[in-house]
Amino acid sequence: MNLKTLVEDLDVLVSQGAMVDGVKQFFADDAVTLDYKGVRTMNKKQALEKMQAIADAVTKVNGITHHGTLIEGNESASEFTFDFKLSGNSTIYWHEIIRRTWNEKGQVVKEEYFNSHKTKI
């Protein structure tokens, strides 16, 4: 398993706004997620449902910027800025760190989201 390549491939999907595809392709069935508000998913099915709900709320991707990624052992941390137009014509702009723990099969087993800045316009 080449973790650098896996992380790069997943970050490309996120950069394209294809977060649902990222979960489908890279998450282990027992993967857990935890966001900065304390909302937790306990498996891939729940993570997919959460990502799909987010994707369904986005009416337009104004921009996604991937600032960089760090890899150490079986963990990675990727930094992004997201700018989305949402249903209801509101806009959300936020800066997020996504920390992932990977298993020996090259699957994400834990994903945590750290919000460094969020502004509603």
What does the pLDDT read at residue 52?
97
The parent domain of residue 13 ranges over: 3-120
What would the mean pLDDT of 14-25 be, rounded to a whole number? 97
Tell me what pLDDT residue 117 has.
Answer: 63
* CB 101, CB 110: distance < 8 Å: yes
Mean predicted lDDT score pLDDT of the chain: 94
Interhelix angle for 44-57 vs 19-26, to 10°? Answer: 170
Q: Is the pLDDT of residue 93 over 70?
A: yes
Residue 25 has phi, psi (to 5 degrees) of -85, -30
- pTM as predicted: 0.92
Give me the mean pLDDT over the 107-111 stretch.
Answer: 98
> Quick one: which of 61, 73, 82 has its CA closest to 101?
73
Q: For residue 35, give the CATH number of its domain.
A: 3.10.450.50
Tokens of 61: 């991707």
pLDDT for residue 32 is more than 80:
yes
- Tell me: pLDDT of 92 over 60: yes
Predicted confidence band at 54 (pLDDT cuts at 50, 70, 90)? very high
DSSP state of 18: -
Phi, psi of 52 (to 5 degrees): -65, -40
- Distance CA(44)–CA(20), nearest Å, equals 11
Please say if the pLDDT value at position 43 is more than 90.
yes
Q: Which residue, among 58, 94, 59, has the nearest Cα to 79 in the 3D structure? A: 94
Cα radius of gyration rounded to whole Å, the chain: 14
Domain count, the chain: 1
